[in-house]
Amino acid sequence: FLSLVENPLFRFWSRRVPLKFRQQLTFVAWTIYLPIHKALIGRRSGLHPSVSLEYHALTSMMWWGRLFPITIKRIRMALSQLHVCHPCWAYKDFIKPASTDNKHLTKRSNGEKHGISGHVIEVYHQMQTKLTPTGFRESVRNGKHDEMIVTGHYIQQSSHPSEKVILWIYGGAFLAGDSTGNLGIAEKVGLMSGGRDCFIPNYRLIPEAHLDDALFDVTLAYEYLLYERGIRPENV
């Protein structure tokens, strides 16, 4: 019965509700919830008293998740919404004004529809060869044609690609996660690291694919940066 309710609700939230509204609604709810938790529970949630009040509040909120079975679908839904918690307007201190850097994005980018301030390049690139052995595969002869396609999102922070690039491999126990959901937090780390570009490749997940398939995809994405975008290994 629960799946009959949550599946349409998940689809409506992620597909029909605008990203900006989801971000604003989430921050308003947190702004109301945090002081209430601070007044009623504070640091008595069971965690060590030295950790932040935000950590205590988040733990109390997530406690209720133990009442529901943790399914792959629920994990994937949760991790696909990470960008809702990391809107660009929440970390303006990391964004340099255009007047102080002539390489900053001075024209309007497409990042706004993705909830970030940088420019997003959707990567879909057919690689011709794979040079790095991974897992049980020793060479490209084991890779099918569609396996040699690199997909993901490349975040360019300024009008010129940065010399050093962050290769963002998202977590999720190889069960969940995607490049779209990690756009906000990846851009944030890139800005905190001096305005470096970020490449977030997609990789196949289990149980639909094998763990070795994920390693194959991530390694191919690394080679894409080296051999297609010309990034030196020490700059990744």
- The answer to whether the beta carbons of residues 139 and 202 sit under 8 Å apart is no
Task: Give residue 96's pLDDT.
Answer: 52
From residue 203, alpha-carbon distances to 4, 8, 93, 128 in Å are: 29, 26, 32, 18
* Distance of alpha carbon 29 from the chain centroid: 22
Top pLDDT among 211 and 142 is at 211
Using CB atoms within 10 A of its CB, is residue 207 exposed (0-12), middle (13-18) or buried (19+)?
exposed
Global pTM?
Answer: 0.82
Residue 194: both structure tokens together: 């001096």
| Neighbouring-strand partners of residue 149 | 126
CA–CA dist 231, 167 (Å, integer): 11
Q: What's the pLDDT tens digit per position in 173-182?
A: 999 999 999 9
For residue 39, is pLDDT > 50? yes
Nearest to 223 by CA among 133, 118, 122, 120: 133
Task: Give residue 100's pLDDT.
Answer: 42
DSSP string, 119-181: EEEEEEEE-S---S-BTTB-SGGG--TGGGEEEEEEEE-BSS--SSEEE----STTTS--TGG
Residue 80: both structure tokens together: 């696909």
For residue 145, is pLDDT > 80? no
Q: What's the pLDDT tens digit per position in 7-32?
A: 888 889 888 999 889 999 999 999 99
DSSP string, 5-40: HHHHHHHIIIIIS-HHHHHHHHHHHHHHHHHHHHHH
CA–CA dist 154, 208 (Å, integer): 25
